[in-house]
Amino acid sequence: MLLVVAAFVVAFVLLLYMISPLISPKPLKLNGAHVVVTGGSSGIGKAIAVECYRQGAFITLVARDEVGGRRTEERSSHISVVVCTSVDVSSDYHEVESVLKQAQEKLGPVDMLVNCAGTSLSGKFEDVEVDNFRKLMEVNYLGSVYPTRAVITTMKERRMGRIMFVSSQAGQIGLFGYTAYSPSKFALRGLAESLQMEIKPYNIYVTVAYPPDTDTPGLAEENRTKPLETKLISETSGVCQPDQVAKVIVRDAVQGNFNSSVGPDGYMLAAVTCGMSPVTSITEGLQQIVTMGLFRTIALFYLGSFDSIVRRCMIQREQSKAADKRE
Ligand SMILES: NC(=O)C1=CN([C@@H]2O[C@H](COP(=O)(O)OP(=O)(O)OC[C@H]3O[C@@H](n4cnc5c(N)ncnc54)[C@H](OP(=O)(O)O)[C@@H]3O)[C@@H](O)[C@H]2O)C=CC1
Ligand SMILES: CCCCCCCCCCCCCCCC(=O)[C@@H](N)CO
């Protein structure tokens, strides 16, 4: 009898341990909240700022380019809830800290920080300038560490907040042409997972977003040097519009979901790459458990087709090189 009771108690405690990480956080109210968006003057960051603004938030936009920032400010100046700041998020921590301090003096403590400033570059490993490996880590990784570091203490004191990192589908899988970009986006996930474990007891929730190709000035720039292989592989996932991506990202951040992905490919990638990352709802946990094997099987077909794209392009290149020589 005693043994049965003990077994039940152990089973119950184990069940509690399994269920406790699945409990969903309380949603954040955006109305009246202060949202800081780095990279808020263009593309996805701008669309996120607009979406938060629509939901009643006070916004601080951060970007390097003053002109772009000022232009945005003029458009919204009649409501004076948008402050634009000009700083390079990746160069000097103290500068970032002081800019965010000023923003908090104007609009109050930061309720949500969106780390969206970033840049991309596509090219074969041996064609990427060596300096660019460092540059991408600085902008995409350190450029997310610095603003986060600058707001975290106040968030912990207030026992509330949201931190968002904008990674990429190329932060879930390594692809041809992204040897400099992917690592800087993978790094964000390591940061996010570690940080989330530290700050969860303070009621602060981290979201990592993994968007597919999105129609922005940044993508247009990247396309100028993109190898054919990378173009063909990325086409698998299609191109999204920034406002569509922003809606999903903002919804997930408000709900405190650790993972934010767009579209059916995004959904499958999230499940198949979930690893030991936090989950924020019972449905999400169950979906991962049930779909993992199936999605891995589908992933093998994708990998096979990517390999065949790379092989075909290589053969084509060699043939045209040989033809050039003959001429
Ligand atoms: N577009 C896409 O296909 C995808 C993009 N992403 C990621 O989303 C984020 C935004 O991309 P996207 O909208 O395309 O980019 P854009 O190039 O259109 O915009 C980038 C924004 O970041 C700012 N920025 C860049 N570097 C710095 C810096 N050092 N300090 C401060 N601000 C900076 C830019 O302003 P300024 O130049 O004035 O500083 C601009 O506001 C990036 O992190 C990107 O990697 C992820 C997946 C897909
Ligand atoms: C079950 C398995 C499903 C597998 C689906 C695979 C889909 C791969 C497509 C990858 C697209 C990469 C987009 C990078 C976007 C980006 O970050 C840059 N454009 C930034 O400018």
Report pLDDT digits (tens) over 96-132.
999 999 999 999 999 999 999 999 999 999 999 999 9
Q: Is residue 317 part of a domain?
A: no
Q: Is 119 helix (H, G, I), strand (E, B) or coil?
A: coil
Tokens of 200: 């969860």
Q: Is residue 1 part of a domain?
A: no
Task: Report whether 186 contacts 171 (CB < 8 A).
Answer: yes
**Complex confidence, ipTM:** 0.98
- Model confidence over 212-228: pLDDT tens digits? 999 999 999 999 999 99
d(CA 157, CA 180): 37
Smallest CA separation from ligand 1 atom 13, residue: 43
Q: Is residue 299 part of a domain?
A: no
Query: Which residue shows structure tokens 């940080």?
Result: 195
If one compares 157 and 4, the residue with the highest pLDDT of the two is 157
Concerning whether 185 is annotated as a catalytic residue, the answer is: yes
Nearest to 208 by CA among 175, 243, 171, 183: 171
Asked whether the whole model's pTM tops 0.90, one would answer: yes
Does pLDDT of 1 surpass 90?
no
Smallest CA separation from ligand 2 atom 16, residue: 213
Does pLDDT of 77 surpass 80?
no
d(CA 139, CA 147): 12
CB distance 88 to ligand 1 below 6 Å: yes
Residue 111 CA to ligand 2 center (angstroms) comes to 30
Residue 269 CA to ligand 2 center (angstroms) comes to 9
CB distance 68 to ligand 1 below 6 Å: yes
Atom from ligand 1 closest to the CA of residue 209: 46
Q: Is residue 118 part of a domain?
A: yes
Q: Which domain holds residue 217?
A: 27-293
Band (pLDDT 50/70/90 cuts) for residue 78 is very low
Total of domains in the chain = 1
Pocket test for ligand 2, best of 44, 165, 173 (most atoms within 8 A of CB): 173
Q: Which neighbouring-strand residues pair with 113?
A: 36, 163
Least confident of 33-42, 67-76, 148-157, 235-244: 67-76
CB distance 120 to ligand 1 below 6 Å: yes
Nearest to 100 by CA among 147, 42, 140, 159: 147
Smallest CA separation from ligand 1 atom 34, residue: 39
Task: Give the chain's radius of gyration (CA, Å).
Answer: 22
Q: Is residue 2 part of a domain?
A: no
- Model confidence over 268-300: pLDDT tens digits? 999 999 999 999 999 999 999 999 999 999 999
d(CA 197, CA 218): 32
- 238 phi and psi, to 5 degrees? 70, 180
Which CATH number belongs to the domain containing residue 195 in this structure?
Answer: 3.40.50.720
Q: Is residue 49 part of a domain?
A: yes
Burial track 9-39 (b if 16+ CB lie within 10 A, e otherwise): eeeeeeeeeeeeeeeebeebebeebbbbbbb
CB distance 119 to ligand 1 below 6 Å: yes
Q: Is residue 31 part of a domain?
A: yes
CB distance 212 to ligand 2 below 6 Å: yes
Does pLDDT of 84 surpass 60?
yes
Residue 127 CA to ligand 2 center (angstroms) comes to 21
Query: Which residue shows structure tokens 């970032």?
Result: 96
DSSP class of 212? -
Q: Supply the mean pLDDT for the chain.
A: 93
CB distance 225 to ligand 2 below 6 Å: no
Cβ-proximal residues to 327 (8 Å cutoff; 6+ apart), any chain: none
Report the Cα 186 to chain-centroid distance in Å. 10
Q: Is residue 237 part of a domain?
A: yes
Q: Is 100 helix (H, G, I), strand (E, B) or coil?
A: helix
- Model confidence over 140-193: pLDDT tens digits? 999 999 999 999 999 999 999 999 999 999 999 999 999 999 999 999 999 999
For the chain, give the percent of residues with pLDDT over 70.
96
User: What pLDDT score was predicted for residue 73?
Assistant: 52
Among residues 184, 185, 234, 260, the one annotated as catalytic is 185
User: What pLDDT score was predicted for residue 80?
Assistant: 46
